[in-house]
Amino acid sequence: MTIRGVVFDLDGTLIDSTEAIVASMFHMFDRLSLDPPLRDAIIDSIGVVLEKQIATMTDHDPIECARVYRAHYGETACEQTIALPGAHDALQALANSGLSLGFATSKRRSYSEIILRHLGILDFFTARVGPDDVTNHKPHPEPIELAATQLGIAPKDMLYVGDLPIDHQAATAAGAACVCVTTGYASRGELELAGVAHVFDDLADVATHVLDGNGQR
């Protein structure tokens, strides 16, 4: 594997924003006087665009729900989100090797940038793609293709790193390579069943895989 750029999903891949998402969801249900779902139902829905996520838990107007959710999330997300272990070191190692980096996420780009800046890792990313930047969302290949365009490379020269089967589906459809980590919202078994050839338990192993594959032992 020789690649020119690496693009990351965020939630469950580079950052853990579970508590921020759960808290904002419960705030939304309470504010709109809706019956709340179980915590596990919220966690199991993480990874898709917000309106689609909400639709899995309530029949209430997803636009109104999303407005209430985002108002709360925008004020609280930074204090309840952490970088996953090894994230900074992995990004630094990849950047030092000369690879271009980016993110393509189902989280709004503006919130993603605020959180990543708070965590001190925003400046690593040249490509920055959120759901508001595309017409079609993962598992459609458009977010991956746009990230490649922003990096100035072809998808075939890019590696996408995610944590869900939809990440693998989107990357494969775009013609990009994909690896996944078990730090997010799918198990190793679920990822392997979805056809992910390389599944890692942490970001350090992802960086080693990339750098070894690029002949940079």
Q: Which residues are catalytic?
A: 9
Enclosing H/E stretch for 111: helix 109-118
DSSP 2-37: --SEEEE--BTTTEE-HHHHHHHHHHHHHHTT----
Q: How many Å apart are CA 35 and CA 32, to the nearest integer?
A: 9
215: tokens are 């002949």
The packing angle between helices 87-96 and 203-213, to 10°, is 10
Which residues are paired to 159 by β-bridges?
6, 177
Q: How many Å apart are CA 20 and CA 163, to the nearest integer?
A: 18
